[in-house]
């Protein structure tokens, strides 16, 4: 299968192959998770507070700049390394993982089209960015922005928009912002917008079912002024850029997010089965065949997702003909599997999982997010059908 649109190519990135995993950062990640992220995960969820301490610790340890080019002081690591980081973060704190996931997806665009000053700030761990694509008018159809961009003819552009969901809204340092083009052909133009720009307003505080600390809020922009050179790529080329640069990162890392939740849920279930006793039988739940069989089914489902992600990375790294298909499939495959595993673990662990102390119910709620996050499971399945039947995606 070929590319989804003219000019779009999903293959190896310039710093190295996308499927080669480095492990030299493993101990540093362990330390941040154990010392900062894990102790705060339950409270982040309970209070719905942004995981600021976790983000700062990850920045200092080099993880915000992990995928930035070594040319600007970044880690120069691969998409596979990003997959490893997001999986491990998601298993501990879904909110922190989602914030970093969106940062990595936006960073991919800034790396390709942004200014060196911003690239160096991200590489140094001093700058958190995020995507600002979804809008109130077109909702999950991120490829059809309703927001406007108008030039004053003197080097300044005015942006007006009603963005429906921006992860880390009001918390990130910048947004990779979509609008309709100034004058160019194409459906979308991308801009680098500092989050402290005049005219930006975050609406309310996020109070969701899951990912309660990811600050995913609506943001309005009224007469937001940016210099014309804040454009990321060509006028009208935003959709091609988003598809070629951000979407592979977003979809594959989203699958890693789901996998991390699944892995944590399976670990919780395993410990519960081994340590919960049926005193009247003198056995543990693990001694019951029905529990073992269901546990094995859920474990296998998790391993299937891991294998699918690894195959997607291999397809990208070797520029296999089916790379585009794998990228379009991977988020939906993982998101639907995560909801199945979360529900299965909840049933397997019974009333203990329904209580907060086991950690299953928090991950159960977090697992529901990916299937409704644009592009949704239904949209991705439609894309897969269109792509394999020779129809245009849009």
Q: What is the pLDDT confidence band of residue 4, given thresholds at 50, 70 and 90?
A: very low
DSSP for 62-119?
T-TTTTS-GGGTS----HHHHHHHHHHHHHH-HHHHHHHHHHHHHHHHHHHHS-HHHH
pLDDT at 247: 95
Beta bridge partners of 135: 139, 163
Residue 146 is given by DSSP the state -
The whole-angstrom separation of Cα 238 and Cα 19 is 26
- C-alpha distance across the termini of the chain, in Å: 17
Beta bridge partners of 283: 278
Q: Which residue has the tokens 């996931």?
A: 101
Q: Where are the domains of the chain?
A: 26-128, 132-238, 242-388
Query: Going by CATH, does the domain composed of 242-388 fall within 3.60.70.12?
Result: no
Helical pair 38-47 and 94-113, crossing angle rounded to 10 deg: 100
pLDDT tens column, 102-134: 999 999 999 999 999 999 999 999 999 999 999
pLDDT tens column, 52-74: 999 999 999 999 999 999 999 99
pLDDT at 13 exceeding the cut of 60: no
pLDDT at 357: 80
The whole-angstrom separation of Cα 369 and Cα 306 is 19
Query: Do residues 212 and 99 make contact, with C-beta atoms less than 8 angstroms apart?
Result: no
The whole-angstrom separation of Cα 257 and Cα 87 is 5
Instruction: Give which of 73, 85, 65 is closest to 22, Cα–Cα.
Output: 85
Query: Do residues 149 and 158 make contact, with C-beta atoms less than 8 angstroms apart?
Result: yes
Query: Do residues 270 and 295 make contact, with C-beta atoms less than 8 angstroms apart?
Result: yes
Q: What is the pLDDT confidence band of residue 22, given thresholds at 50, 70 and 90?
A: low
pLDDT at 2: 37
Query: Considering the domain 132-238 in this protein, what is its CATH number?
Result: 2.40.110.10
Q: Which of 1.20.1260.10, 2.30.110.10, 3.90.420.10, 1.10.540.10 is the CATH number of 26-128?
A: 1.10.540.10
For the chain, the maximum distance between any two Cα atoms, rounded to a whole number of angstroms, is 82
Q: Which residue has the tokens 């001093």?
A: 126
The whole-angstrom separation of Cα 272 and Cα 294 is 13
pLDDT tens column, 147-202: 999 999 999 999 999 999 899 999 999 999 999 999 999 999 999 999 999 999 99
Give the list of residues 6+ apart from residue 282 with CB closer than 8 angstroms, or none: none
* CA within 13 Å, CB half, 76: 8
* Helix, strand, or coil (residue 183): coil
Instruction: Give which of 198, 32, 192, 34 is closest to 125, Cα–Cα.
Output: 32
């Amino acid at each position: 299968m070929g590319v989804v649109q003219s000019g779009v190519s999903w293959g190896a990135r310039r710093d190295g192959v996308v499927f080669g995993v480095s492990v030299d950062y493993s101990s540093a990640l362990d330390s941040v998770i154990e010392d900062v992220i894990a102790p705060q995960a339950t409270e982040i969820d309970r209070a719905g507070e942004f995981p600021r301490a976790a983000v700062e610790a990850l920045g200092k340890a080099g993880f915000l700049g992990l995928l930035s080019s070594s040319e600007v002081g970044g880690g120069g690591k691969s998409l596979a390394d990003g997959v490893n980081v997001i999986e491990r973060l998601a298993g501990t704190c879904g909110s922190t993982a989602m914030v970093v996931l969106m940062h990595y997806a936006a960073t991919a665009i800034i790396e390709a089209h942004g200014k060196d000053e911003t690239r160096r700030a991200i590489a140094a761990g001093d700058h958190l960015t995020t995507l600002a694509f979804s809008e109130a008018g077109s909702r999950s159809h991120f490829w059809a922005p309703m927001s406007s961009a108008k030039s004053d003819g003197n080097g300044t552009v005015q942006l007006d928009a009603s963005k429906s969901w921006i992860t880390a809204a009001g918390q990130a340092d910048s947004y990779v912002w979509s609008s309709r083009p100034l004058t160019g052909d194409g459906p979308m133009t991308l801009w680098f917008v500092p989050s402290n720009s005049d005219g930006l307003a975050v609406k309310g505080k996020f109070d969701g079912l899951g990912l309660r600390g990811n600050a995913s809020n609506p943001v309005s922009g009224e007469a937001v002024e940016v210099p014309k050179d804040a454009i990321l790529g060509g006028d009208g080329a935003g959709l091609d850029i988003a598809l070629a640069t951000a979407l592979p990162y977003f979809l594959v890392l989203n699958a890693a997010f789901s996998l991390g939740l699944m892995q944590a849920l399976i670990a919780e279930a395993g410990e519960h089965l081994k340590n919960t006793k049926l005193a009247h039988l003198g056995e543990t739940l693990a001694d019951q065949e029905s529990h073992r069989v269901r546990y094995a089914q859920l474990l296998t489902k998790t391993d299937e997702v891991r294998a699918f992600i690894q195959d997607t990375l291999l397809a990208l790294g070797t520029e296999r003909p089916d790379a585009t298909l794998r990228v379009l499939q991977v988020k939906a495959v993982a998101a639907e599997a995560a909801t199945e595993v979360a529900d299965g673990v909840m049933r397997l662990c019974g009333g203990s999982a329904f209580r907060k102390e086991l950690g299953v119910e928090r991950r159960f709620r977090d697992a529901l997010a990916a299937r409704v996050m644009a592009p949704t499971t239904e949209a991705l399945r439609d894309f897969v059908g269109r792509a394999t039947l020779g129809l245009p995606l849009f």
